[in-house]
Amino acid sequence: MKKKLLSMLLTAAMIVTSFSVNVVAAPFGDTSGHWGEQAIKTWSDHGVVNGSDGQFRPNDNLTRAEMATIVANLLKLNAMPEGNPFGDLDQNWYTDPILKCYEAGIMSGDGANVRPNDPVTREEAMVILSKALRIKPAAGGVDGFQDAGHVSNWAEGAVKALLDAGIVNGVGGDMLAPKGQINRASVVTILNNAIGNYVTEDGAEIEAKGGLVLVVGGNATIKGNAKDVLILGNSEEVVLDGLKVEGNVQVEGEGTKLVLSGDAKAESITVAENAAGASVEVGAEASVGTVETEAAKTEIVVKGEVSDVKVDAAAAETAVKVEETGKVETVETAAEKVTVSGDGAVSSVTVSGNDTSVTTPGTKVEAAEGTTGVTADGKEVTTGEAAATEPAVTPSGGGGGGGGSSHSHRYQAVVTAPTCTAGGYTTYTCSCGHTYTADEVAALGHSYDAVVTEPTCTAGGYTTYTCSCGDTY
């Protein structure tokens, strides 16, 4: 079978110009002076695109098979489905790239056929590239073009996202031409617009200067500034050394390790479901808005500052470790068998997954209705209620001199709701009788309803204002 496929590949290369899976860059005799020359050279040097017989044919329309091959080369896709789901996909030079894109969820055809030799439309290309680069569909409709209404419903979010990001433009004359064909140079130019840095070599050290940093192989250290970072499954350890990320860092691939060192910052970090066993370490001087994991057995180590940690239901057995220098405002976990531990500060943990353990000091723990096995410092938290772990520094007791036996406090929380005139607070009480209050909330203030008494011939009118607490005037 391999010999037959190789023979067909060689035959196809002689009769069809294509983006082959070969990674050997070649000079092209038809790109000199072309508006896409620099982009074509860049991505040819990376082995992502290629031509044949020394020609690139930049103005020729791109086929769906060629589009799949670009994406498979770009992302270094390897995984294949168990079978071929497409009735019109025979053994050919493009078979493996299309199946790899299908397995990755990037190209699905119409469910029965994939039409490999059809020209890819502009909106199809935009959807494929947005999926490949994990660009989330944008809300709202496409506007600003005379033919904006021609964009298919299934493509609208992807098209708008790429337009909003400045990655794609119209074709001139206020036209977008979503159903028009797209040439080879244009697709390569879109790649060039979207990707600021492309990391493929083990041990690479990159100074990013904006845009997307796409990491597809080996260990890497990245400095500078980036809009987003996408780390795929061929990577091992990626260090963001003082890197400032405007948007999201996406981690994919089992066992991938992400480290934020120095004063690195990111708006968010997402660990995808396919990254089981991945780890994220936020260094002592680093900060992140939200760290969210969808992957089982994720390890999240916080030495710096993180506003929110979110553990999705699929991320069972995730461990959140907050070290002494670390600070986390909130942890929300919906997965089972999650642990939140360490000597650092975690303000609150909200739990809707069973068998969750919280041992960080001074943490308020709330267990949603229906949960079981939720513990704070080893003591079960009643479902639908809140408890707290022991503070990092146990408040000293009053009274006379003399030592006493040591005791590890285990607190239960009782919430006193605010009223119109008095603030609310939470009282934490240990079984030994020790108590303290925290989580104070301001008084609500009066809210009056008015009842008007109309004047009569002999008596004046007036309005009575009454609050729900009973206060009236």
Q: Which residue has the higher pLDDT, 434 or 74?
A: 74
Q: Report CA-CA distances (Å) from 121 to 4, 156, 225.
A: 32, 14, 33
Cα separation of 320 and 311, whole Å? 9
pLDDT at 79 over 50: yes
**Which two tokens mark 39?**
């982009």
Long-range contact set of residues 394-400: C-beta below 8 Å, sequence gap at least 24: 395/434, 395/436, 397/434
Give the whole-angstrom CA distance, residue 286 versus residue 244: 10
State the pLDDT at residue 246: 96
Q: In DSSP terms, which residues pair with 208 in a beta bridge?
A: 224
410 pLDDT band, cuts 50/70/90, is low
Whole-number pLDDT of residue 365: 95
CB atoms within 10 A of CB 374: 27
Judged against a pLDDT cut of 90, whether residue 452 lies above it is answered with no
pLDDT at 285: 97
pLDDT at 38 over 90: yes
Share of the chain above pLDDT 70, in %: 89
At 443, the pLDDT band (50, 70, 90 cuts) reads confident
> What is the pLDDT at residue 111?
80
Helices (H) and strands (E) in the chain, counts: 7, 27
pLDDT of 424: 83
The pLDDT of residue 450: 85
H or E stretch covering 41? helix 37-45
> What per-residue confidence (pLDDT) applies to 27?
65
pLDDT band at 278 (very low <50, low <70, confident <90, very high): very high
Burial annotation 64-74 (CB, 10 A radius, 16+ → b, else e): bbbbbbbbbbb
Q: Quick one: pLDDT at residue 426? A: 82
What is the phi-psi region of residue 146: left when phi exceeds 0, alpha when psi lies from -120 to 50, beta otherwise?
Answer: alpha
Nearest alpha-carbon partner for 413 in 364, 352, 350: 364
Give the pLDDT score at 15. Answer: 31
Please check the confidence at residue 22 and state whether its pLDDT lies above 80.
Answer: no
Predicted pLDDT at 466: 86
Q: How wide is the angle at C-alpha 321 spanned by C-alphas 319 and 323, nearest 5°? A: 175
Specify the pLDDT at position 401: 42
pLDDT beyond 50 at 68: yes
Give Cα 473 to chain centroid, integer Å: 55
In whole angstroms, give the CA distance from residue 35 to residue 58: 10
Show contacts of 345-350: CB within 8 Å, 24+ apart: 345/392, 346/322
Q: Give the H/E segment covering residue 7.
A: helix 2-15
380-399 pLDDT, tens digit per residue, is 999 888 888 888 654 444 44
pLDDT, tens digit, 9 for 90 and up, residues 312-359:
999 999 999 999 999 999 999 999 999 999 999 999 999 999 999 999
pTM over 0.85? The answer is no
pLDDT above 80 for 435? no
Q: What is the pLDDT of residues 198-239, one digit of tens each?
A: 999 889 999 999 999 999 988 999 999 999 999 997 678 999
Mean residue pLDDT across the chain: 87
Neighbours of 408 (CB within 10 A): 10
| Weakest mean pLDDT among 136-140, 186-190, 453-457 | 453-457
Q: Are 241 and 219 in contact (CB under 8 A)?
A: no
Confidence of residue 402 (pLDDT cuts 50, 70, 90): very low
Across 21-25, 100-104, 428-432, least confident range:
21-25
Burial class (CB in 10 A: 0-12, 13-18, 19+), 332: middle
Overall average pLDDT of the 42-58 stretch: 92
Distance CA 463, CA 461 (A): 7
Q: What is the pLDDT of residue 434?
A: 67
